[in-house]
Amino acid sequence: MQTRKLGKTDLDVTLICLGTMTWGEQNTEKEAFEQLDYAVNEGINFIDAAEMYPVPPRAETQGLTETYLGNWLSSRGKRDDLVIASKVAGPGNGLKYLRNGPRLTRDHILEACDASLKRLQTDYIDLYQVHWPDRSTNFFGKLGYEHNPEESFTPIEETLEALDELVRSGKVRHIGLSNETPWGTMEYLRLAGEKGWPRVASIQNPYNLLNRSFEVGMAEIAHREQAGLLAYSPLAFGMLSGKYLGGKWPEKARMTLYERFSRYTSGRGMDATRAYVDLAQQHELSPVQMALAYVNSRSFVTSNIIGATSMEQLRENIGSAQVTLSPEVLEAIESIHQEFTYPCP
């Protein structure tokens, strides 16, 4: 499995990262173990989790994903061979059960990290990420920024200082961001330079054929600041597999089960998906592997976070690392992108 450097750190992470957010909701612990065994045997060394997982978030299941991963690490004894990533949650509706409403203050971050370490059954987290900003800004599909000068939020300086404390204690090796904007990313980097605090190693944002908004303001930062993209939702919640086309809602599929996952179901999203699926079929490619191989091919991507609820899906997703798209296919993808530009931000 190809590896890429995680930011300016000494860690090499595999091009494919195993995402875990279905464990504890759509996947049992036994299925999580099976996924982990297969992924590691295929050469994957990068596993991404979060304190909030599984998704959709519920008080009854919160933390199960990290618990499953921790139990597997304990039983397999492979901790030092792997790069384990997790995330601390920011404020959000419906999360009152998590520290009475999570914030990115020092106390919340330190408490969250200790809880994650306990569930993961490890002494350190290789990459600890801020799951989303404490402030109101453009993430989770929002494009138009509306400034509120009266808004109260945790200053990035306080958040980063707490992360520095975790790094100095040895509980965290490196830090990253998720669902962050260009301004937020550069503010973390500015403060790190001024204060001697840890530098952002990666940015975990959505990126797929239906949502290439990362290219607009973030791709240059990823290159110039060596803070590459950890691409999540590379299949647009499974939409790019083509399984939802023609009015189909497969049983047990994520967007069939959970109404909250509606980001990629617009008319333009469906039309763009049809164009990409047709292109893949014309070139005798799996639509899934074409979509993932495109993400893999981007120079600003450090790792592509794939997830699966079945072993069949997992095998196909991981297999995308062996697919190289021809110049003809890449040119055709750009033509479709010109027709359907950011259909699903």
pLDDT at 251: 74
Which overall architecture, per CATH, does domain 3-204 show? Alpha-Beta Barrel (3.20)
Which stretches of the chain are assigned E, i.e. beta strand?
Answer: 3-5, 12-14, 16-19, 46-48, 83-88, 125-130, 172-178, 200-204, 228-231, 301-306
Which two tokens mark 208? 């797929």
Domains of the chain, residue spans: 3-204
Handedness of CA 26, 232, 237, 309 (dihedral sign): negative
pLDDT number for residue 260: 67
Answer whether 261's CB lies under 8 Å from 333's CB: no
Nearest to 19 by CA among 321, 317, 307: 307
Label the pairing between strands 3-5 and 12-14: antiparallel
At residue 256, the pLDDT reads: 67
| DSSP bridge partners of 208 | 211
- Residue 93's contacts (CB-CB under 8 Å, 6 or more residues apart) are none
Low-confidence ranges of the chain (pLDDT < 50): none
- CA separation, residue 234 to residues 122, 151, 167, 205 (Å): 29, 33, 30, 10
The DSSP-derived string for 215-232 is HHHTHHHHHHTT-EEEEB
Distant-in-sequence, close-in-space partners of 201: CB < 8 Å, separation ≥ 6: 6, 7, 8, 9, 127, 174, 175, 176, 227
Q: What are the φ/ψ torsions at residue 151 (nearest 5 degrees)? A: -65, 140
* The two structure tokens encoding residue 279: 């292109």
Give the pLDDT confidence of 253-310 residue by residue, as tens digits.
Answer: 777 666 766 778 888 999 999 999 999 999 999 999 999 999 999 999 999 999 999 9
pTM value is 0.96
Ramachandran angles phi, psi of 310, nearest 5°: -130, 155
d(CA 124, CA 127): 9
Q: Cα–chain-centroid distance for residue 99?
A: 23
All residues at 6 or more sequence positions from 123 whose CB lies less than 8 Å from its CB, including other chains: 117, 170, 171
Our answer to whether residue 53 is catalytic in this structure is: yes
- Peptide bond preceding 182: is omega within 30 degrees of 0, i.e. cis? no
Structure confidence at residue 250 (pLDDT): 73
The token duo for 58 is 């519920």
| Cβ atoms 303, 46 nearer than 8 A | yes
3-state secondary structure of 23: strand
Determine the pLDDT at residue 126: 98
- Which pLDDT value is given to residue 264? 85
